[in-house]
Chain A
């Protein structure tokens, strides 16, 4: 600890603290622009100049380390004179037109100018003008306002991992710009809007639509990936205008992914379902709620009476709230069906009934930064979990060895220790080899289940060496973890991967866990939105089509592992009851009743994030039109169907019923499986690698226009490496018809992607153009279209 005196107050701060950190600890505000606690120190704005005893000149508080016995004066005449001098310089070239600036009212420069600026400027020359740059569909520039603090530059380089912005030119000609003709394409790009202390970088979708003081600021939780980023949703007249991060060091720190930030646009989408609708004689009619609910209840009753309750299946979105998932499950069980599932993209359910608990991250999110060895298995990490990837990126900089085994070689912008990229079918084998290599290094015997299959001595091509390299890294660390990504969870041998990760963790004495795909991937288990007893899982409900389906927030053709099968199942059903905030063309085709329910912004509810954190939130706006919170709709349906236990007055009661109150973390979380047979399949002929692109992943983000205009939302192509191109005798740009057996087909443009392993084609899922292709994991045939 170091002792110093700050403005006459004695203070103790940890070794290595800077003066600005000490001041923060003491509750003293030192004006600043370029300093940001998560970014490297630039010390370029000079606004934080303070007086330090014995120093001949004022020193920047952000860059001056505290020394023992130091005396700092943050508001002495010398300090304030220096700060005012800097403010004068900052303002000479800054347009003083705050009334027409989008940042007005939430501008650090404007705020500090009140305290440190003069009433009139001594500068009477011409002001600098800087031309604006196109940074893409999310971030708008007004670079004449830029004060060159370089926060945005440092963010892209240090946090997002790729220097997409820089400062070109010198002196007062200096400009912030992207590379020539390039936009800022990071999945974290929106954060530079928050970081910009002036109105130089503003939100393109939000720009000029409201003033900050007109907006109510309400807390919420992101409904997208498993992290559950904390949000401040800004609302005007019950319309969500903007989303900002709510700082939570344990979850999202002070960041948001672009998906979390900009998906709100879909809340005001023209596709919002705002009236209950019923299909009569093939025609859709707007009806009152009681008519629609009667219709739905009748349909469910009829199917139950004529075909038995097991003829009904419920496909629930893992992005639905805990309360909605619980009530939907309860409704089904009340009717007598266990055909309930929210694991829509999962294809291997052999671990069901063998699980010790609900699969989860296996640790706290914040612990990720403290790991020293990490193995990520089957994950499009950067796009599936942008902020967890960010945590790993920072960890790697501090020396954490991160290895990846996967079926795609996307640039994670993380310094990797080792990586193995193999065809999807070979992923379990590669992981098994890592297990074997770790066992050898540890002098331990491998598990009997693995021994049998490994005896044949099969090895993935050249992967034996990779496995050894990864194993050597894992055994050399003190605090390791194995993380299974979305791809591993969706994999046809997901249970094998789980069992292998478990064996690996046991050998290493370390943690292993799942990177939860959706906001309620963990919550779905907690709310029992998974089949019990003889109930059918999500895949079985489609493979063995039901007479009736209840869809909660799900769009099966895009959200299920096999979109083609899902669509066929919906079409053949005699009754499809849809609870959704949106009316899609597909649903209008196959549904019989559309019940408009609230998206996350218009209902109270709970998400249990990937670390099991229970995050409840309130509605931030009134439901649009006739839409109602889904938990209320399900309550009424339950009552109409005369099922017991639907007498809830609030969503909190539902939650408390499920969780036994409101714990901080859900209980019953355990990734362990018992008695899962290890399956190591042989390589396929031409395997599909299906990613779920970040902006196609759920119903909400699919309808956010600005996100759909980003580079991450390009239409899927058939991506393959040069060897595969040669083998198929096709070239980039060619159109090919891709088929799965006699089933699904899709016509796509060919694209060279050297990150795709041999004999594989990467075709994104969750998109209208590829939904017809069918399963995410399959062997493909290709012919010229």
Chain B
């Protein structure tokens, strides 16, 4: 909501509708007429009117160097080009199963700009030759699932979906599919299983979805923000989009800033914006406290300490160089009142809870990891625990069907790399380096809810 400098008018302009302080009663900017007023569906019309070939569309997306906004950062245009041309039945799937702790950008795109997703998906379907699409929306945002259904109705009524779209002889049906809130369903092949009505468990790859996807047919799956970025690319051109960011990191991106900042929220900034600038946009550190650490790309990304983070710019390459990942762009900011052991315990519990249970290392390992960290946090750590955590992590990472195993291990490796001494202090002294009252003072949970208790 807190969009200070909207750059992409097709993505974020409508978000300003309610003014700086968003109000429910003003929440109409998502409607088709508002979206069209901002220039919505012009890109689709242009593509169809100028009879751009699917290759030309893909080439334009490749030129923009739009990298997948779901977390892996895989170039979107390249992904589209993997779709077999001759296959008679193909699918487009939008992954709105945004479950990564710290990430809430797709939710707001869904809320404020559903038509940007629809337009992006139509263009993608046109590019890869898909006749049918699904938007998989996670279970916790049911009202936005309903809103998306309304947006689909508008788009169908306006002739953007269905048979012979805009008289161009192109057919595309798009449907919303509601998930039920399993983190693992954000993994693309588990998401496909879930749409098919099965238990959400990742598939072994290869084959990749581009060859064997939904219902066994070639399928392109992209993140919500990736699709929502597509109309803008065709508005300013692939080149123009790339130039908004920096080489190999095209365009602008939404960052979900949360944690110990004064104004948590989503911020759209060009790729390559310094972290310090983003932090400033988010109102700076709460209570003027000192920055301790930042998880720059969602809970799976290794934590970075303040000094390293302050030197980073917000793009894939810079964060990777610093030893972490840009991921989904969820920036979790932690100040000096944070107990890193407790923070890691909470993260580990998440992966333990969300492991799908399919393959051994993750099913058995995530629970073990959590139990060890839980023990350390509760003053029952053993000197050998830290090495045990790392060797167990080594036995999980890279040994599982999907990346959830890696995601469970990366935070542990990150925290131990940069904050090992605090863990050792916990084990040795059976308490935290950060005194409990300091921890509470930094927590709105305590300051707001628990009063002075």
Contact = CB atoms under 8 A, between A and B. Distances in A.
Interface stretch (B90-98, B146-154, B233-241, B398-406): B398-406
Contacts of A147: 360
A320 to B, nearest CB: 49
Given A46-B361, A166-B199, A171-B356, A86 B388 contact: no
B30 interface: no
A46 B360 contact: yes
Interface stretch (B79-87, B122-130, B136-144, B363-371): B363-371
Interface string B345-381: 0000000111111111101111110010000000000
B193 to A, nearest CB: 13
Contacts of B398: 56-58
A49 B206 CA distance: 16
A122 B384 CA distance: 10
B318 interface: no
A174 B395 contact: no
Interface stretch (A37-45, A222-230, A242-250, A529-537): A37-45
Contacts of B388: 122
Contacts of A47: 360
A123 B199 CA distance: 30
Q: Is the interface of B mostly helix, strand, loop or mixed?
A: helix
A44 B367 contact: no
B155 interface: no
Contacts of A148: 357-358, 360, 363
B246 to A, nearest CB: 28
B441 to A, nearest CB: 33
B182 interface: yes
B204 interface: yes
B204 A63 contact: yes
A88 interface: yes
Nearest to B404: A171
B361 A170 contact: no
Contact of A89 (B357, B360, B371, B394): B360
Interface in A549-565: none
A237 B216 CA distance: 54
A85 B363 contact: no
For chain A, give the interface size range. Answer: 35 or more
A125 to B, nearest CB: 5
A170 B365 contact: no
A169 interface: yes
A92 B204 contact: no
A147 B206 CA distance: 24
Contact of A86 (B353, B399, B401): B399
Contacts of A123: 368
A455 interface: no
Given A86-B395, A93-B364, A46 B400 contact: yes
A85 B367 contact: no
A171 B399 contact: no
Contacts of A515: none
B361 A171 contact: no
B228 interface: no
B355 A171 contact: yes
A57 B399 contact: yes
Nearest to B356: A170
B281 interface: no
A727 interface: no
Contacts of A653: none
Nearest to B372: A125
B184 interface: yes
Contacts of B366: 171-172
A90 B400 CA distance: 14
Interface string A157-190: 0000000001101111110000000000000000
Given A86-B395, A148-B357, A43 B367 contact: no
B395 A171 contact: no
A123 B365 CA distance: 10
For chain B, give the interface size range. Answer: 20 to 34
A402 to B, nearest CB: 22
A82 interface: yes
A61 to B, nearest CB: 12
A167 B199 contact: yes
B204 A43 contact: yes
Contacts of B367: 171-172
A148 B355 CA distance: 14
A239 B218 CA distance: 57
Contact of B365 (A49, A89, A174): A89
Interface string A297-316: 00000000000000000000
A716 interface: no
A583 B163 CA distance: 75
- B365, B399, B401 — which one has the most chain A CB atoms within 10 A of its CB? B399
A90 B199 contact: no
Contacts of B184: 170
A171 B352 contact: yes
A492 interface: no
B360 A45 contact: yes
A86 B398 CA distance: 12
Interface string A373-415: 0000000000000000000000000000000000000000000
Contact of A169 (B204, B357, B371): B357
A172 B354 contact: no
A47 B371 CA distance: 24
A60 interface: yes
A43 B395 contact: no
Contacts of B206: 65
A147 B359 CA distance: 10
Contacts of B400: 46
Interface string A52-67: 0000111010010100
A90 B360 contact: yes
Nearest to A91: B364
Contacts of A174: 356-358, 363
A174 to B, nearest CB: 3
Interface in A101-156: 122-123, 125, 147-148
Contact of A125 (B356, B358, B368): B368
- B353, B364, B365, B395 — which one has the most chain A CB atoms within 10 A of its CB? B364
Contacts of B355: 170-172
Interface in A24-82: 41-47, 49, 56-58, 60, 63, 65, 82
Contacts of B361: 46, 85-86, 89
A85 B356 contact: no
A172 B363 contact: yes
B10 to A, nearest CB: 38
Contacts of B365: 89
Interface string A624-640: 00000000000000000
A129 to B, nearest CB: 13
A58 B360 contact: no
A707 to B, nearest CB: 32
A44 B401 contact: yes
A172 B370 CA distance: 12
Contacts of B182: 170
Interface string B192-215: 000000010000101000000000
A58 B400 CA distance: 10
B359 A171 contact: no
Contacts of B394: 85
B292 to A, nearest CB: 30
Nearest to A82: B399
6 contacts: A43-B359, A45-B360, A82-B399, A88-B395, A171-B367, A174-B356
Given A170-B357, A172-B363, 11 more contacts: A44-B358, A45-B359, A46-B400, A49-B399, A82-B399, A86-B399, A89-B364, A125-B368, A148-B360, A148-B363, A166-B199
Interface of A: 41-47, 49, 56-58, 60, 63, 65, 82, 85-86, 88-90, 92-93, 122-123, 125, 147-148, 166-167, 169-174
Interface pairs A-B: 6 shortest CB-CB: A174-B357, A85-B395, A57-B398, A89-B364, A171-B355, A43-B204
